[in-house]
């Protein structure tokens, strides 16, 4: 089947409703529910965008010859990798980087798993076949995935196997001839209104045999019997895009995933009970590199948006002469150029991996994934500091069209913007920096790719710093040698001193 249009996406979600719960109610139809419909329609719009830019966003399926989504491409050359970048940027720009779960994020993961399928096949050749077939399935049907990796936050002082209830974290309850049965919970899955869910390992398991029942990787339809998504309260309050320009468009939702004896057929299992393989899977297959590639492209779009927003705010209220304003806008610019440099390095230093897949270089991507979570909150704070009280004194659409319209026109003008220009701009700044949507974005950027604290430790332990230590050792030795060597200028100094005294 060729790539989908938005209408196909909505149709499928209506035809295959997952069990999604929101504020105590089962959501009948995510395409019409007030808390979901806007985000779901934005998701659908991404699919229409593919057909508006088919050259850039689609490619010819190696199996069927159909035009399919480029987000599912397994790149073999740098040019192909860069073509994926351009495709991802187009999607990221659509939401100003606010849709972290545009489908390319997990399509890149599954493409990497399929490319590196042999790694999974080392445990059982069927797992390699399964993942290749699954990748083909999502590519040919142009499906959208969510995923869940981590165990519930009950007692982080001990591992998942040692929680008070052994079925708190999702685990294998039963192994059958035709598949496995899963019981327990996982947290968290952004975009529960997806077609399928990847349930993969993330938090490192120990070699303790008790951890084996928690070690698996599989993917199933979201509309699978016994699978439930318990959502947080929506941040889309059903207001107009004038009032809530981001919240009313890009609410993706986050949900805890409950497995109430969910059956997973063997053909959908890719990793099973092999703790060590689960722990190594993301790196060995290249999935973490290809996902990070998508993330840095999305973050470039997000930072470009913040740079444009900040610049318009500065211009509107005429604060461009103040030095600290320059510094703040410069900080956003430096962030943007840093991300672009990381991306370029990741593309230029990309190399074929052991499976013949063009893998973006890890070092710049690892730097990017450690850099941005700690930077994004600061960028949002800059928007707050530029806007100041302007962010909390913006009239709503009802005010602008209500009895006080003339007052608003008069009192909300600014240096270089009439009220009708300034108000939407500052409402956008509010939704990017202060609203529930905005603060959820800050939490998202800080955590969604993993705990930055533990990512720093991973970086500390993984990267070779010996060459730099050697450089310093050599310098210290050089300084010592120089100190011990006879001074060829000895005597000159006293001569100079003497001559000066004369």
Q: Which residues bind ligand FAD (CB under 6 A)?
A: 147-150, 153, 156, 188-190, 254, 440, 443-444, 447-448, 450-451, 453-454
Q: How far is the CB of 447 from ligand FAD (least distance, A)?
A: 4
Q: How many CA atoms lie within 13 A of 188 on its CB side?
A: 15
- Judged by CB, which is closer to ligand FAD: 111, or 202? 202
Report the alpha-carbon distance of residue 468 to residue 460 in Å, rounded: 14
Q: How far is the CB of 187 from ligand FAD (least distance, A)?
A: 7
Q: How far is the CB of 235 from ligand FAD (least distance, A)?
A: 11
- Judged by CB, which is closer to ligand FAD: 232, or 326? 232
> Helices 436-447 and 419-433: crossing angle, nearest 10°?
40
- Per the CB < 8 A criterion, the answer to whether 415 and 318 are in contact is yes
- Judged by CB, which is closer to ligand FAD: 156, or 344? 156
- Judged by CB, which is closer to ligand FAD: 17, or 450? 450
Q: How far is the CB of 437 from ligand FAD (least distance, A)?
A: 11
Residue nearest ligand FAD, Cβ-based: 149
- Judged by CB, which is closer to ligand FAD: 109, or 312? 109
In Å, how far are 44, 171, 218, 434 from 265, measured between CA atoms?
Answer: 29, 15, 9, 45
Q: How far is the CB of 300 from ligand FAD (least distance, A)?
A: 20
In Å, how far are 221, 269, 398 from 264, measured between CA atoms?
Answer: 10, 7, 50
Strand pairing category for 196-199 and 145-148 = parallel
- Judged by CB, which is closer to ligand FAD: 199, or 358? 199
Q: For the range 232-239, what are the long-range contacts, defined as Cβ-Cβ under 8 Å and sequence gap of 24 or more?
A: 233/22, 233/23, 234/22, 234/34, 234/35, 234/36, 235/435, 235/436, 235/437, 235/440, 236/34, 236/35, 236/36, 236/38, 236/39, 236/437, 238/34, 238/35, 239/396
- Separation of CA 494 from chain center: 66
Q: How far is the CB of 249 from ligand FAD (least distance, A)?
A: 17
- Judged by CB, which is closer to ligand FAD: 297, or 313? 297
In angstroms and rounded to an integer, the radius of gyration of the C-alpha atoms of the chain is: 27
Report the alpha-carbon distance of residue 15 to residue 11 in Å, rounded: 6
Q: How far is the CB of 186 from ligand FAD (least distance, A)?
A: 7
């Amino acid at each position: 089947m060729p790539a989908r249009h938005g209408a196909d996406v909505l149709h499928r979600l209506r035809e295959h409703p997952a069990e999604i719960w929101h504020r105590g109610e089962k959501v009948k139809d995510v395409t019409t529910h007030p808390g979901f419909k806007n985000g779901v329609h934005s998701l659908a719009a991404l699919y229409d965008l593919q057909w508006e830019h088919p050259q850039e966003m689609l490619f010819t399926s190696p199996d069927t010859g159909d035009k399919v989504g480029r987000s599912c491409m397994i790149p073999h050359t740098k040019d192909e990798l860069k073509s994926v970048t351009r495709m991802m940027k187009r999607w990221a720009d659509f939401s100003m980087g606010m849709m972290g779960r545009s489908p390319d994020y997990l399509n890149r993961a599954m493409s990497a798993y399929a490319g590196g399928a042999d790694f999974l096949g080392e445990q059982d050749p069927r797992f390699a076949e399964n993942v290749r077939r699954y990748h083909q399935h999502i590519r040919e049907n142009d499906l959208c995935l969510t995923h869940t990796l981590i165990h519930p936050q009950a007692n982080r002082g001990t591992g998942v196997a040692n929680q008070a209830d052994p079925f708190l974290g999702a685990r294998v309850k039963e192994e059958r001839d035709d598949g496995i049965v899963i019981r327990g919970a996982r947290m968290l899955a952004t975009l529960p209104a997806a077609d399928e869910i990847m349930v993969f390992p993330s938090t490192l398991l120990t070699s303790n045999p008790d951890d084996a029942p928690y070690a698996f990787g599989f993917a199933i339809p979201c509309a699978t019997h016994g699978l439930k998504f318990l959502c947080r309260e929506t941040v889309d309050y059903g207001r107009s895009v004038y009032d809530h320009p981001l919240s009313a468009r890009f609410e993706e939702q986050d949900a805890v995933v409950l497995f109430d004896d969910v059956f997973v057929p063997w053909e959908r299992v890719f990793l099973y009970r092999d703790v060590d393989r689960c722990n190594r899977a993301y790196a060995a297959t290249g999935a973490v590199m290809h996902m990070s590639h998508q993330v840095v492209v999305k973050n470039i779009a997000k930072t470009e948006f913040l740079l444009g927003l900040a610049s318009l705010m500065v211009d509107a209220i005429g604060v461009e002469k103040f030095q600290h304003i320059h510094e703040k806008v410069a900080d956003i610019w430096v962030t943007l150029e840093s991300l672009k440099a990381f991306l370029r390095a990741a593309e230029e230093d990309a190399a074929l991996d052991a499976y013949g897949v063009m893998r973006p270089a890890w070092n710049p991507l690892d730097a990017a994934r450690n850099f941005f979570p700690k930077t994004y909150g600061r960028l949002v704070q800059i928007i707050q500091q530029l806007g100041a009280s302007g962010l909390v004194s913006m009239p709503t659409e009802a005010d602008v069209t209500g009895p006080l319209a003339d007052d608003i026109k008069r009192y909300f003008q600014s240096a270089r913007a009439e009220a009708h220009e300034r108000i939407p701009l500052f409402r956008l700044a509010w939704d990017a920096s202060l609203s529930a949507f905005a603060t959820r974005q800050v939490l998202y950027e800080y955590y969604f790719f993993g705990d930055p604290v533990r990512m720093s430790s991973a970086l500390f332990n993984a990267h070779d710093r010996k060459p730099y230590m050697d450089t310093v050792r050599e310098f210290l030795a050089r300084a010592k040698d120089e100190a011990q060597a006879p001074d060829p200028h000895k005597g000159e100094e006293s001569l100079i001193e003497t001559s000066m005294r004369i």
